[in-house]
Amino acid sequence: MAKHNLTWQAIDAQFLEAILLATGGEGGAPLQEVLLMADAVDGTVYTLKEVEEALEKLVAASLVQIQKNKLALTPAFLEAFESIADSEVTSEAILDQLNAYTLTEQSINEAREVLKKYKLKIYYQQYQEQYG
């Protein structure tokens, strides 16, 4: 039995959409800005577990990377998602695109190692203390 959820969920697409909005499609954004954007768009307030799982999947699929303690979209994301950029970007359209990416135990484990260096829990706690 798999230790990780290897299927894309609506929450993964919503989190990716929040990253896209927070970065404006360029550069990176701190976790705090991504979480604030998600809240501003539709009132979503993610738990730490939801953030961890979404980021594990997005990093594992090489769609999001960590750059200077910021979450950034990869060139692979920008190229792959160009097809929906001209239409209205919705979580549903993003989820449809995400389903083309296969997740494996190995890729999730590798993403976890990357995220350990990012100190996700600390950034999430700072967000909670300031805005929670």
pLDDT digits (tens, 9 = 90+) for 34-44: 999 999 988 98
Q: Which has the closest alpha carbon to 9: 73, 53, 59, 63?
A: 53
> Would residue 132 count as lying in a domain?
no
Give me the pLDDT at residue 87, please: 65
pLDDT digits (tens, 9 = 90+) for 59-111: 999 999 999 899 999 998 888 887 776 667 788 889 999 999 999 999 999 99
Q: Domain residues for 48?
A: 10-122
3-state secondary structure 31-69: HHHHHHHHHHHHCCCCCHHHHHHHHHHHHHCCCEEEECC
> Would residue 68 count as lying in a domain?
yes
Give me the pLDDT at residue 25, please: 80
> Would residue 112 count as lying in a domain?
yes
CATH number of the domain to which 32 belongs = 1.10.10
Tokens of 97: 């695109």
Q: Which has the closest alpha carbon to 94: 70, 115, 63, 118?
A: 63
> Would residue 2 count as lying in a domain?
no
> Would residue 1 count as lying in a domain?
no
pTM: 0.91
> Is the pLDDT assigned to residue 2 strictly greater than 60?
no
Domain count within the chain = 1
> Would residue 3 count as lying in a domain?
no
